[in-house]
Structure 1
Amino acid sequence: MRDQERQDDPGIADTQRAHWQATYAAHPRMYGTQPSEAARDAAADFRAAGARTVLELGAGHGRDALFFAREGFTVHATDFSATALGQLTAAARESGLADRVTATVHDVRDPLPLPDGCVDAVFAHMLLCMALSTREIRAVVDEAARVLRPGGLLVYTVRHTGDAHFGAGVSHGDNIYEHGGFAVHFFDADLIHDLAKGWHLHGVHAFEEGELPRRLWRVTQARR
């Protein structure tokens, strides 16, 4: 049995939830107001595919969710931090986008509180590479497929094993390493292709973001 098939650790999940709550409280809108490069690219893909509704998983304080709303999409944002979503909701109201954005506190380890086939696109910027086991990651992708309409797009980004922090810091097994209180699940190519089984894989694009810099993949795949 591969290491990433180990039993899930509820302790690290609780610790990470508390850490993110405290971080968002101490640093409101910590990622700024400009959208990520990944969101800009995803919006173009969503528009080309005729998408109108976007579900963002792990939306945080909403810089990308608000960008999607400004681009004309109807957005349902989820995150396990009520503090972050409070900041998102306030920003949507201040920006006149409240009618285009809804926010729900949700932990992706649980089934999505949405019906089958109800959204055109799902976006997750670095959500899947949080402190999730491989089994939990597979379950999140399965839930994304369930709520997507046929042909709908899933775009996600993850830090990968070529990142400078991979293999350093505190190891939690399953390619999860912790730095400064933040735990990251680093993806290899095998996991990317495993998660694409049953989907149409449109592409895997390498890019860099932030300090260090962080090395990521942006994955685009469509529900069959």
Structure 2
Amino acid sequence: MGNLQDAMRVIEQDQADPGVLTRDVVSAAVDEVVRATAAAYTEQSASYEQAREAQPWKWDEYLTTTLLERVRSRIADGSLSLGAAPQWRLLDVGAGYGRDVLRFAGEPDIEAVALENADGFVEYLRRAQDEGRIGPDGVLVTDMRDLGGIEDGCFHCIRNHATLHHLPLVSHGLGADAAVAGFRRVLAPGGVLYVLVKAGSGVNVIDTGEGLGGRFFQLFTPTLLRQLLERHSFSIVQMEEAVEPRSSGNVDWLFALAVAE
């Protein structure tokens, strides 16, 4: 696949006529999207951290509180079993420079694990690990489609905060479907999946004004997100939409909590 624009054309064709293009062609397009996204975050990891810290969003804390309350209530009422484990395990997919996974790691009842594939962000996470702020097994370096090294049912919560929308919805079980299938496999029965994605329709390369240039985004309607999660045996228990004001323009978001059936 030559570049991101070539990949976009393949993805748009596949979405218009699912299954017409071969698996190899679609797979190469998705691989290019993943490569370009990781490269953008690596090249501008420092400026991205500065942008995020300079523009905190109050809804972020609401989402975190909502997630914690949901998981803890399911543990308390027996809907989610920890077995003999002293803590519940949270996988933060696309952990970035570690802002949120470090916040979760500070909770006494949580074993937080970061998953990241952008080398620039991995450096931040390794530094936090060296400082003892993340556990010795708390950093997984892979992309969210490849959870093959993780045991079935070993996490009680998987968090995707502005991450899943960097994979397209395509045929052949690739892209976002491959990721969500993996999430379901590694979640314990009754476990909680958190998803925050950009709202809208179609795919686009968007410059969000964070110094990262144009990146690929799969935009989601509530129906599209619901269908994706339900295809992989998740039951949605909460879904909300919100608008984040930014200096570069408002951003429409879609948030969902779902439970592994």
More off after superposition, 184-193 vs 104-113: 104-113
Change (3 A) 1:141 1:12: closer
- Match status 1:88 vs 2:129: no
Gaps of 5+ in 1: 167-173
- Match status 1:19 vs 2:47: no
More helix per residue: 1 or 2?
Answer: 2
- Match status 1:132 vs 2:168: yes
Structure 1 residue runs of 4 or more that deviate by more than 4 Å after TM superposition: 25-30
What corresponds to 2:65 in structure 1? 40
3-state secondary structure, aligned to 1:129 = helix
- Match status 1:190 vs 2:223: yes
Instruction: Give the alignment partner of residue 203 of structure 1, picking from 225, 238, 261.
Output: 238
Q: Does the CA-based 8 Å contact 2:102-2:134 persist in structure 1?
A: no
Change (3 A) 1:101 1:213: farther
Change (3 A) 1:133 1:196: closer
More off after superposition, 180-189 vs 44-53: 44-53
1:23 offset after TM fit, Å? 1.1
What corresponds to 2:96 in structure 1? 60
- Match status 1:177 vs 2:195: no
TM-score by length of 1: 0.82
- Match status 1:117 vs 2:153: yes
What corresponds to 2:9 in structure 1? none
1:186 offset after TM fit, Å? 0.5
Query: CA RMSD, aligned part only?
Result: 2.6
User: 1:67, 1:4 → 2: CA distance?
Assistant: 43
User: 2:49, 2:199 → 1: CA distance?
Assistant: 27
TM-score by length of 2: 0.72
More off after superposition, 65-74 vs 126-135: 126-135
Change (3 A) 1:83 1:124: same
More off after superposition, 185-194 vs 138-147: 185-194
Q: Deviations over 1:56-108 (max 9, x none)?
A: 111101111111111231011101112212213324555x5333871111112
Gaps of 5+ in 2: 1-13, 81-87, 208-212
More strand per residue: 1 or 2?
Answer: 1
Return the letter of the residue paired with 1:80: N
3-state secondary structure, aligned to 2:164 = coil
Change (3 A) 1:160 1:103: same
1:148 offset after TM fit, Å? 0.5
Return the letter of the residue paired with 1:177: V
1:213 offset after TM fit, Å? 2.4
3-state secondary structure, aligned to 1:117 = coil
The structure having more radius of gyration, on CA atoms, is 2
Q: Deviations over 1:131-153 (max 9, x none)?
A: 43444111111100100010001
Return the letter of the residue paired with 1:44: E
User: 2:17, 2:47 → 1: CA distance?
Assistant: 33
Corresponding residue pairs, total: 212
3-state secondary structure, aligned to 1:97 = coil
User: 1:147, 1:19 → 2: CA distance?
Assistant: 28
